[in-house]
Structure 1
C-alpha cells in the first residue's frame, strides 16, 4: 500500500469517525493537539487502524509519534513488516 493511500484512508476516518476538521490535518501538525483525543478515543483509533490496515498497534508505538507524518510512517512501517 502506497503512502498516499494510507494518508487518504487515515484522514478520511479521522474526519468521518473522529470529527476532526480536515483543514487542521497536515504532515507537520501535532497529532495529539490536533486530534484532542482522550484515552478512550485512542483505543477507538487503534481499533480503527487495525480494522482498516490489518496491523496491530501498541501503546509503545505512540510514544515516538509527534506529527501526522510520524503517524503515517508508523502505519506504513507496520504494513511493510506484515507483508
Structure 2
C-alpha cells in the first residue's frame, strides 16, 4: 500500500468516524489541536487502524502519534511488520 493509498484510507476513517472533512486530513495536521480529536477518539482511531492493517498497535507506540503524518508512519510500520 502506498503512502497516498494509506492517506486516502485514513481520510475515509476520519470522515466516517469523526465527521472530519477529508480536505482537512493532511499529513501535517495535528490530531488534537487542528482536527479536535480527544483521547477516546484516539483509541477509536487505533482500533480502526488495527482493523485496516490486521495488526495490533502497541499503546506505547500510538502515544507518540500527534499528526496525520505520524498516523501514516504508524500504518506503514504495521504493514512492514507483516512482510
- Structure 2 length normalisation: TM-score? 0.82
Question: How far off its partner does 1:37 sit?
Answer: 2.2
Aligned length: 83
Q: Greater share of helix residues, 1 or 2?
A: 1
Q: In the alignment, what sits opposite 1:15?
A: 15
Task: Flag the structure with more relative contact order, 1 or 2, with Cα contacts below 8 A and sequence separation at least 6.
Answer: 1
> C-alpha root-mean-square deviation of aligned residues, in Å?
1.6
- Structure 1 length normalisation: TM-score? 0.82
Encode CA deviations 1:28-59: one digit per residue, 9 max, x unaligned: 11122233222222221111111112121122
Gapped regions of structure 2 (runs ≥ 5): none
